[in-house]
Amino acid sequence: MKEAAASFYQSINPKASTDIAERAKLSEIDASMKWPGLLFIVSGVLWLMAGTILAIIASIKMTNPDFLSAWEWMTFGRVRTAHLNAMAFGWGSNAVFAVGLWIMARLCRARIRHVGILFIAGCFWNIAVTVGVIGILRGDMLHAEWLEMPTYITPLIALSYGMIGIWGIIAFRFRQTDYIYVSQWYILAALFWLPWLYTIAQVLMFFEPSRGTVQSLTNWWFAHNVLGLWFTPIAVAAAYYFIPKVLGVPIHSYYLSVIGFWSLALFYNWAGVHHLIGGPIPAWLISAGIVASVMMVIPVVVTAINHHMTVVGHFKKVWMSPTLRFVVFGAVNYTLVSLLGSAMALRSVNEVTHFTHFTVGHAHHGMYAFFTMLMFGSIYYIMPRLLHREWPSATLIRVHFWTCAIGVLIMIVALHVGGWIQGLQMNDAGNYPDFIDIVRNTIPWLHARSISGFLITIGHIAFAINFFWMTWLELGRRDPEGRPTLFISPEDAR
């Protein structure tokens, strides 16, 4: 027993380990991530489909409140919240685990250790999220935005996350490279940031509840940071990895990427307070949040320069690559959504946008047009390397890209324009004394949102068909030489 414990300790500690000198081949790393990577991506795609159905139902209810209203578990409040949690903790976090750990292992040139534990932890994570989403639908949901899953699931979420995230940190400790690439900085930091955010928020919101408005502060500190310090770093890390990797050229300026990482680490943590502009909390706290939100222009601009300048001169290659289409679309939207977010934090702008569909549009701009599109691109690159098999249908990839890109752009424009008009009308009590008139005026924009949702659903169905076709039906074309690089061989690319 003692020997087993000692040997396990050696296997996770580079100082005690005897097998650390080997620089793992990329194919070995891909092989080590095969089963856990598949588990996370398969689960993620299933959650994506479930979240999409919930989203469509919630969207239709905005214009047709009687739709499926006979069941209490299908009421708007529950369905919309189940959609958010299914997408954030089901789709988003599973994608983060797969993409983050795979990139980390590749850049460290160290395989992921104890994949069996990682796999089991992944199963527990998905069981926890399933119980949490069902809990929301059956009426156990909590009052805090982005933390609605019932507290009986919190320990399992925390434990399974710990057993997943730790393998990324251990891979980093076993790294066999001289320099740390900027993507590793982002992923490593995110692996530490999420448990910090989740633990503090859970304690201050539910286990040792703070009083009054401190709860609101904690809520928005968590909700905004889970976007900026969990989903954003992994997506930015993916862009920093895949843009130069697919193009075969180094990033435009590594110096700027370093500034981008450290300025994000410094400023983002403060920004969430801008959700409480006008709220009953000390004005200096709100001002600090606004300052931090505007300071976020620094990491966003340097990251934008880096991503976009790397692509300049290679636009044809972007259209030739399934991965880069999605990744560059996501990177462009990172720039746009972040600059818009900084502007929305200004008091004069926030007066109009707060409590309107503008904010909903902004959330989808960030979580979908930026984060989700980047994860799609990453999965298009990773899957052939995990399975040694090409994607079965290039047409389905194109359908996926165009329907999702056009769909989300329609949604963003509709909710931003509709939300802005809604905000102006709400501030104009003289001309709009009846609130219901303002609500009615939003209906055309909400119809546009539902149409965009249907387009996105078509894209997700195309993606799911291609994905499960590739994964389980084994109809994809096998690469005869079993190389990890598919769709195109290195010789063809010269």
Residues near other proteins (CB under 8 A), total: 53
Contact call for residue 380 and other proteins (CB under 8 A)? yes
Q: How far is CA 116 from CA 69, 167, 283, 302, 357, in A?
A: 44, 11, 50, 39, 44
Contact call for residue 481 and other proteins (CB under 8 A)? no
Segment near other proteins (CB under 8 A); pick from 350-358, 415-423, 440-448, 480-488: 480-488
Contact call for residue 406 and other proteins (CB under 8 A)? no
Contact call for residue 152 and other proteins (CB under 8 A)? no
Contact call for residue 125 and other proteins (CB under 8 A)? no
- Taking the C-alpha atoms of residue 352 and residue 344, their distance in angstroms, rounded to an integer, is 9
Segment near other proteins (CB under 8 A); pick from 22-30, 63-71, 287-295, 409-417: 22-30
Nearer to other proteins (CB atom), residue 56 or residue 320: 320
Minimum distance, C-beta of residue 90 to other proteins, in the bound complex (Å): 27
Task: Build a one-symbol-per-residue string for 320-359: x at contacts with other proteins by CB under 8 A, - elsewhere.
Answer: xxxxx-----------------------------------
Minimum distance, C-beta of residue 386 to other proteins, in the bound complex (Å): 14
What phi and psi, each to the nearest 5 degrees, are found at residue 17? Answer: -80, 150
The two tokens of residue 348 are 């004069």
Nearer to other proteins (CB atom), residue 25 or residue 143: 25
Contact call for residue 418 and other proteins (CB under 8 A)? no
Count CA atoms closer than 13 A to 240's CA, side-chain side: 31
Minimum distance, C-beta of residue 432 to other proteins, in the bound complex (Å): 37
Contact call for residue 475 and other proteins (CB under 8 A)? no
Contact call for residue 394 and other proteins (CB under 8 A)? yes
Segment near other proteins (CB under 8 A); pick from 38-46, 56-64, 116-124, 313-321: 313-321
Contact call for residue 313 and other proteins (CB under 8 A)? no
Tokens 């990324």, located at residue: 168
Nearer to other proteins (CB atom), residue 207 or residue 255: 255
The three-state (H, E, C) secondary structure of the chain, written as one string: CHHHHHHHHHHHCCCCCCCCCCCCCHHHHHHHCHHHHHHHHHHHHHHHHHHHHHHHHHHHHHHCCCCCCCCHHHCHHHHHHHHHHHHHHHHHHHHHHHHHHHHHHHHHCCCCCCHHHHHHHHHHHHHHHHHHHHHHHCCCCCCCCCCCCCHHHHHHHHHHHHHHHHHHHHHHHCCCCCCCCHHHHHHHHHHHHHHHHHHHHHHHHHHCCCCCHHHHHHHHHHHHHHHHHHHHHHHHHHHHHHHHHHHCCCCCCHHHHHHHHHHHHHHHHHHHHHHHCCCCCCHHHHHHHHHHHHHCHHHHHHHHHHHHHHHCCCHHHHHHCHHHHHHHHHHHHHHHHHHHHHHHCCHHHHHHHCCCHHHHHHHHHHHHHHHHHHHHHHHHHHHHHHHCECCCCHHHHHHHHHHHHHHHHHHHHHHHHHHHHHHHHHCCCCCCCCHHHHHHHCHHHHHHHHHHHHHHHHHHHHHHHHHHHHHHHCCCCECCCCCCCCCCCHHHHC
Minimum distance, C-beta of residue 54 to other proteins, in the bound complex (Å): 32
Minimum distance, C-beta of residue 391 to other proteins, in the bound complex (Å): 9
Binding other proteins by CB under 8 A: which of 244, 407, 453, 459? 244
Segment near other proteins (CB under 8 A); pick from 8-16, 23-31, 92-100, 135-143: 23-31
Contact call for residue 214 and other proteins (CB under 8 A)? yes
Contact call for residue 392 and other proteins (CB under 8 A)? no
Nearer to other proteins (CB atom), residue 280 or residue 430: 280
Binding other proteins by CB under 8 A: which of 9, 152, 196, 315? 196
Cα torsion through 303, 309, 310, 314, rounded to 10: 140
Contact call for residue 26 and other proteins (CB under 8 A)? yes
Contact call for residue 245 and other proteins (CB under 8 A)? yes
Binding other proteins by CB under 8 A: which of 8, 315, 319, 355? 319
Hey, what amino acid is at 385? R
- Taking the C-alpha atoms of residue 292 and residue 286, their distance in angstroms, rounded to an integer, is 10
In degrees, to the nearest 5, what angle opens at C-alpha 266 toward C-alphas 261 and 271?
110
Minimum distance, C-beta of residue 293 to other proteins, in the bound complex (Å): 17
Binding other proteins by CB under 8 A: which of 119, 124, 262, 420? 262
Segment near other proteins (CB under 8 A); pick from 141-149, 261-269, 441-449, 460-468: 261-269
Contact call for residue 31 and other proteins (CB under 8 A)? no
Minimum distance, C-beta of residue 435 to other proteins, in the bound complex (Å): 34
Minimum distance, C-beta of residue 178 to other proteins, in the bound complex (Å): 7
Nearer to other proteins (CB atom), residue 481 or residue 492: 492
Contact call for residue 123 and other proteins (CB under 8 A)? no
Site of interaction with other proteins (CB under 8 A): 25-27, 107, 177-182, 192, 196, 200, 210-211, 214, 241, 244-251, 254-255, 257-258, 262, 265-266, 269, 316-317, 319-324, 380-381, 390, 394, 397, 485, 487-488, 490, 492-494
